[in-house]
A and B are shown apart, each in its own frame.
Chain A
Amino acid sequence: MFSAKRERHVALGAVLASLLLMQSDLSFASQSDLERNEPCLRCHGMETFGYVKPETGKLVNLSVSQADLDQADHQGNLCVDCHRGGYRKTPHPQHKVTADTCLECHEDERGFEKYRMKAITAHFKKSVHYKMQPEQFNCFSCHDPHAGRLHKIGDATVTVVEKSNQVCLNCHSTLLPFEESHAWLPNGQLHQKAVRCLECHTPRPSSVVHAIEPAAKGEKDCVACHSRDSILLTKLNKYRLGRGEDKLGFVNSVVMDDSYVLGMTRHSALDKLGIFAVALTVSGVSAHGIGRWFSRRRGKSS
């Protein structure tokens, strides 16, 4: 998905790329060259590298950022690990990516069990995206294998949220602007910065985030988050549980590094103090009133 500015750049790049590709031939590339990704990035490393797809008239981005690649989880991989064959001649429109899903590499690979790729794939197949357009959607529709990096414990929540939401907004801001689709949601911008779209648009309460539900099933009950048993504990903050809980006596203080959530980050002692103070006052004035009533009766009878 391109921004408008980038689209203009890509359009210019597409013209340049077309001229370049007509002249290029990668047959000279040696195995050692390919092990450095160098022949691929010579073209694909250009920021505006792309072409206009004749069938749709839309720009197709073919650019791979070296900077993104360097910080991605796949940074140690070679282009040819996934793009096997069909690229010696350029342009190579018939080239097909060998790996269409994460499972193709990670299904049986030892050391990746903790990423639960099989479970995630099963969840994904329950998502509204897969159910509606199974041919169009795969892992890479949302997760860019050239830039993707798993969030790590300790990453700032605001960054996690921003990156996660950007994945959704890449398509959904064009389909229907957030401000319109979430007009009912108070402090929409604040919510968008504080929580992921996934908190409310995946099954609840559950840590599953790939079984994205239809918009109509999105959570609209404020109390689902604004409560002690907030769904934010099972999703956004599930990896932080058990780390520094009950800071200063607050319930769910695990989220307080980044945010204060009404109804969720509460202080048990202060809650009890409030109820006790009100109960004591009601009891006190009631007792005082009863005392006055008795003394008045006694005064009348004497």
Chain B
Amino acid sequence: MNTETKTQWMLLYPLWLRAWHWTNALLFIILLTCGFSLHFADSGWTLVGFATARTWHNLAGLALTVGYLVFVLRNWTSGNIRHYKPDWRGWSSRLLRQAHYYGVEIFQGAAHPFPVRREQKFNPLQQLTYVCVVYLGLPTLIVTGLLLLMPELAPEAILGMAGLWLIAVVHYLAGVGLTVFLIMHIYLATVGKTLTSDLKKMVTGWEEVTLADPR
């Protein structure tokens, strides 16, 4: 059995994907800053005034919506969606393996258990997170955000109270969830082969891909 790992540099992150990623990053920072300033307007910790926060939050939210629709369409037509389709065989054990790596092996200098492959560039935990973020978190955030932007479309009452309350709560929780994701995402970008290798791949699009599956 040949145990030698062959690698090859491949363009795994095409320009459209990188453009969406970095635009999204910028929009999310605007949305987060302004969203915090709106929700906690009286806290004294806000970075942006209420009126400015509202304008930028709305504009960034609309841009995020357009960007999301473009991403979903392009992700599907380009075939990039294959990276988002879980391989259910041994799925849970691979998740545990990856979690064990992050929790234990990474401190022992061990190699990544699931190197990047042409057919699967995400590790199992990464894939699960991205699927949840892209196909659950973002749509929830966008739909509730649009209803808050156009409250006349929201139900008049939910559980005997003004309908917007539940929409606002879900929007807030989705925002918190995606903020947690953002922090972890930025941190996990430093656990590649080097501190900056993952960052570089999202700038250049090129990734060193393992040709032989070591599993």
Q: Using a CB–CB distance below 8 Å, which chain A residues touch chain B?
A: 186-187, 190, 221-223, 226-229, 247-248, 250, 253, 256-260, 262-263, 265-267, 270-271, 273-274, 277-278, 281-282, 285, 288-289, 291-292, 295-296, 299
**When chains A and B are docked, how far (Å) is the Cα of A253 from the Cα of B161?**
9
Selected from B102, B152, B168, the residue in CB contact (under 8 A) with A262 is: B168
State the Cβ distance, A271 to closest chain B Cβ, in Å: 8
Q: List 20 A-B contacts (CB under 8 A).
A: A186-B54, A221-B50, A222-B50, A222-B51, A222-B54, A226-B41, A247-B161, A257-B160, A260-B168, A263-B39, A263-B42, A271-B40, A274-B172, A274-B176, A277-B179, A278-B183, A281-B180, A285-B184, A291-B107, A296-B109
**When chains A and B are docked, how far (Å) is the Cα of A288 from the Cα of B51?**
38
Q: Which of B145-185 contact A (CB under 8 A)?
A: 151-152, 159-165, 168-169, 172-173, 175-177, 179-180, 183-184
Other A-B contacts than A259-B162, A291-B107, 15 sampled, CB-CB below 8 A, are: A186-B54, A221-B50, A223-B50, A248-B159, A257-B160, A263-B40, A263-B41, A263-B42, A270-B173, A274-B175, A277-B176, A278-B183, A289-B190, A292-B106, A299-B109
Q: With A229-B42, A263-B38 given, is the CB distance from A285 to B183 under 8 Å?
A: yes
Interface SS of chain B: helix
State the Cβ distance, A203 to closest chain B Cβ, in Å: 20
Interface core residue of A227, A260, A281 (most chain B CB under 10 Å): A260
- B9 CB–A CB distance under 8 Å: no
**Does A256 contact B108, Cβ atoms closer than 8 Å?**
no
Please name all residues of chain A whose beta carbon is closer than 8 Å to the beta carbon of B88 when the two chains form the complex: none
**When chains A and B are docked, how far (Å) is the Cα of A198 from the Cα of B155?**
28
**Does A282 contact B54, Cβ atoms closer than 8 Å?**
no
State the Cβ distance, A111 to closest chain B Cβ, in Å: 36
